[in-house]
Each structure stands twice: as C-alpha cells, then as structure tokens.
C-alpha cells in the first residue's frame, strides 16, 4: 500500500534544467546526453539494446538536496540510466557514496548510499530506479 502511494506521488518527469555539472565542467542537454552514452559504452550508431533506451535525463539528486555534490548525482544518474553490465548497481552506488563523501562528509555519503540502495532497485516503479532509461520491468 505504501509503495503504491509513494509511486503515485512521484513525478512523471525526471529532470533538472541545464547546465549539468560533470567532472568539474558544465554541459547543455545534448552534451550531457552524449557523455552519458559514452560513459555507458553506447557508440553511434547505437547497438540494438541501446536503441531501446529512452533519452538520457537527470534530476540531480532526485528527492535529496543537491548541496555541493550535484555532479555526483548526475554521474550516478548516468549509470542508473543505462544499467549496463559493465557497471553493477552496487559499484555505481559505492562510487556515488565515495563522490558524495568527497564533496560533503562521510555521514552524508553513507546516508545517500543507503537511500539509493533502498529506493533505487529496478523492481520499484520510480523514475530514478536502476535502468530508468528502459521501460519499467524491462531493464536488461
């Protein structure tokens, strides 16, 4: 019941306005989408599984304050968007925790890690779930 209520209250759109911070620079929507595709190992022309992906979007740190670690959230969104086999969800979440810790503190890093581990599972119908570039329940 609670899951249904929360899922019904989540936004249908997953996005923030550019510029998007990533590795110390800021990018527009087309540039960050290209970076996400390259990070996920998707080259043009896209291989068949990548052709099923929805366009890359990011909402920064989802329902958590972006603070000074928004670029960590954008990079994490890239990994979650494509859910490629080269990066497991646990690896992406650990890298996210390390990044948030380096931009904030260990408590905040652990808190955000716990949040994505609990709320980022691909079986949940949220727009920030692992494999959100694919339709729900169709993550490869």
Q: What is the pLDDT of residue 10?
A: 41
Domain total in the chain:
1
The answer, yes or no, to whether residue 47 has pLDDT greater than 60, is: no
52 falls within a domain: yes
Q: What is the pLDDT of residue 77?
A: 95
Eight-class DSSP state of 130: T
Distance, CA of 51 to CA of 70 (rounded, Å)? 28
136 falls within a domain: no
Residue 93: which H helix or E strand, with range? helix 89-103
- pLDDT tens for each residue of 13-33: 456 778 899 999 999 999 999
SS3 27: strand
Is this model's pTM higher than 0.85 or not?
no
37 falls within a domain: yes
- pLDDT tens for each residue of 83-106: 976 678 999 999 999 999 999 999
Residue with the two structure tokens 């960050």: 32
The answer, yes or no, to whether residue 44 has pLDDT greater than 70, is: no
Distance, CA of 100 to CA of 107 (rounded, Å)? 10
Q: What domain range includes position 50?
A: 14-119
The answer, yes or no, to whether residue 116 has pLDDT greater than 70, is: yes
Please give the mean pLDDT across all residues of the chain: 84
Residue with the two structure tokens 């994490």: 76
98 falls within a domain: yes
100 falls within a domain: yes
Distance, CA of 70 to CA of 49 (rounded, Å)? 28
Band the pLDDT of 64: cuts 50, 70, 90. confident
131 falls within a domain: no
């Amino acid at each position: 019941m609670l899951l249904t209520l929360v899922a019904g209250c989540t936004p249908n759109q997953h996005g923030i306005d550019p510029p998007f911070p990533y590795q110390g620079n800021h990018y527009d929507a087309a540039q960050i989408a290209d970076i996400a595709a390259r990070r996920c190992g998707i080259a043009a022309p896209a291989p068949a599984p990548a052709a099923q992906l929805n366009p890359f979007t990011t909402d920064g740190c989802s329902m958590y304050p972006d603070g000074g670690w928004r670029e960590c959230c954008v990079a994490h969104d890239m990994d979650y968007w494509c859910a490629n086999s080269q990066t497991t969800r646990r690896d992406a979440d650990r890298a996210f925790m390390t990044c948030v810790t380096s931009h904030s503190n260990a408590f905040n890093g652990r808190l955000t890690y716990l949040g994505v581990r609990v709320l980022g599972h691909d079986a949940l119908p949220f727009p920030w779930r692992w494999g959100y570039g694919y339709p729900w329940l169709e993550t490869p």
